[in-house]
Structure 1
């Protein structure tokens, strides 16, 4: 019997002046553990003068995780943070009761040719922490746990697994784990996984139960304890998941909450421009008249 419960392929989405491949939310699977939103950015080849420019916009009830493979983004937020993220680093912003931020190409790259490629992820907060104070954390590449086993290279980007712990301050049991292999290798880590589990294939391919799966596919497992597969040569995959929350989650635009009243209050607060402003920024992304995300999650 197959252990693969669902196969999700990237769907193109336009987020302004940038196209992404959306993985979550999906109509048949709104969340995987606490992970509620995953976008694969690029790879986007940008000419001089073509840049990422996502102006100030708000979040509540979640943490955002940005992880780049190529390119650079300057993050600014209403806490006064200004941080350039580079490939292999982690930006982790916890919105809690409310935060606003912008994401832009750094000034020194704006008139150069460049590539932008990475993952942007939302992790819902536990109900008791949904209205916590907002915060920001940045981790350099060398701070992330890295190890090799049987010619497979592991990097723990966030959470805890295999007796390793990332410095990224998560708020519920979860993991976001990168595996890279230059050779064909069988991988069996089911005994280390917990909760709900997804596997995303960035490049290369894997074989599971006689079937080959390729890039830009997300596989959701029925039973995390049965996760065995073969990584073909030059393959990169990501395991993510963790303990699911007992309450359902709602999502409207950039707002996530277990209570629709929290979302309505956040909408009104943004309409009235009562979120703390982002220093050094002018303008803002207006509240959409229609919600382009799925309203109800779990």
Structure 2
């Protein structure tokens, strides 16, 4: 019997002035463990006249994880953080009761040709930490746990798995892994994963029970402890998941919360512009007139 419960395809969406591939939330699967939102950015080539610009916008109730394969993004937030995100590093921003940030092409790249490719992910906070104070953490590529199993290169970008722990300060049991192989390899994960689990194919393909799956797909597992498949040559995948929350979550625009009251409060605070400001930034993204509410079940 197949261990694949659901297949999710990327859907096009616009973020700022940039087209992305939306993976989560999906109408039939709003969350995987605490993972509530995943966008695949690019790959795209930008000319000297084009730049990635997302002006200041707010978040509540989540941690954002930005992980680039190519290119560079300048992150600025209302805590005063200002750091360039480069490929392989982890940008982890926890909004708690409210944070504001901007994401832009760095100044030194704005008049030259450039590329951009990566993942932007939201991880919902557990209910008792939704209103925590915001914080920010940046971890360089060299500090991310990495090892080999056979001919497969593995990175533990966030969370815990295989007896190892990432330095990213997560707030619930989860894992986010990168697996790369240049040759055909069999992967058997056994008891190393827990909770809900999913697999995202960035490049190459995998084979499972006679079926071949290619890029831009998320495969949702029925049981994380029965995960076995073959990675074909030159394949990169991401395995993510963890323990689901007992309560539903609602997503409205950039807000994630366990109650609609928290969402309404955040909407009003953004309309009133009482969220903290990003130093040096005067623009902001207005609250959408119409933005869908998604009730997210466990």
- The interval holding the TM-score normalised by the smaller chain is over 0.9
The CA distance in 2 between the partners of 1:54 and 1:141, in whole Å, is: 24
Query: Runs ≥4 in structure 1, deviation > 4 angstroms?
Result: none
Aligned to 1:20: 20
Aligned to 1:48: 48
The CA distance in 2 between the partners of 1:15 and 1:278, in whole Å, is: 19
Task: Give how far 1:183 is off.
Answer: 0.2
The CA distance in 2 between the partners of 1:290 and 1:197, in whole Å, is: 32
Aligned to 1:295: 294
The CA distance in 1 between the partners of 2:78 and 2:45, in whole Å, is: 30
Matches within 5 A, 1:100-111: 100-111=100-111
Aligned to 1:243: 243
Task: Give how far 1:190 is off.
Answer: 2.7
CA RMSD of aligned residues (A): 0.6
Aligned to 2:36: 36
Structure 1, unaligned runs of 5 or more: none
Aligned to 1:228: 228
* Secondary structure of residue in 1 paired with 2:269: helix
Aligned to 1:270: 270
Task: Give how far 1:49 is off.
Answer: 2.0
Aligned to 1:161: 161
The CA distance in 2 between the partners of 1:250 and 1:112, in whole Å, is: 40
* Secondary structure of residue in 1 paired with 2:142: helix
The CA distance in 1 between the partners of 2:117 and 2:285, in whole Å, is: 23
The CA distance in 2 between the partners of 1:178 and 1:15, in whole Å, is: 25
The CA distance in 2 between the partners of 1:277 and 1:232, in whole Å, is: 47
The CA distance in 1 between the partners of 2:191 and 2:234, in whole Å, is: 25
Q: What TM-score do the two structures reach when normalised by structure 2?
A: 0.99
Task: Give how far 1:149 is off.
Answer: 1.1
* Secondary structure of residue in 2 paired with 1:263: helix
Matches within 5 A, 1:61-210: 61-210=61-210
* Secondary structure of residue in 2 paired with 1:233: coil
* Secondary structure of residue in 1 paired with 2:246: coil
Task: Give how far 1:16 is off.
Answer: 2.4
The CA distance in 2 between the partners of 1:16 and 1:128, in whole Å, is: 32
Q: How many pairs does the alignment contain?
A: 297
The CA distance in 2 between the partners of 1:54 and 1:146, in whole Å, is: 32
Deviation sequence 1:171-190 (CA, Å, 0-9, x none): 00000000000000000013
The CA distance in 2 between the partners of 1:49 and 1:277, in whole Å, is: 28
The CA distance in 2 between the partners of 1:231 and 1:73, in whole Å, is: 30
Deviation sequence 1:209-241 (CA, Å, 0-9, x none): 100000000000001111000000000000000
* Secondary structure of residue in 2 paired with 1:295: strand
Aligned to 1:8: 8
The CA distance in 2 between the partners of 1:114 and 1:190, in whole Å, is: 41
The CA distance in 2 between the partners of 1:114 and 1:232, in whole Å, is: 30
Structure 2, unaligned runs of 5 or more: none
The CA distance in 2 between the partners of 1:283 and 1:142, in whole Å, is: 34
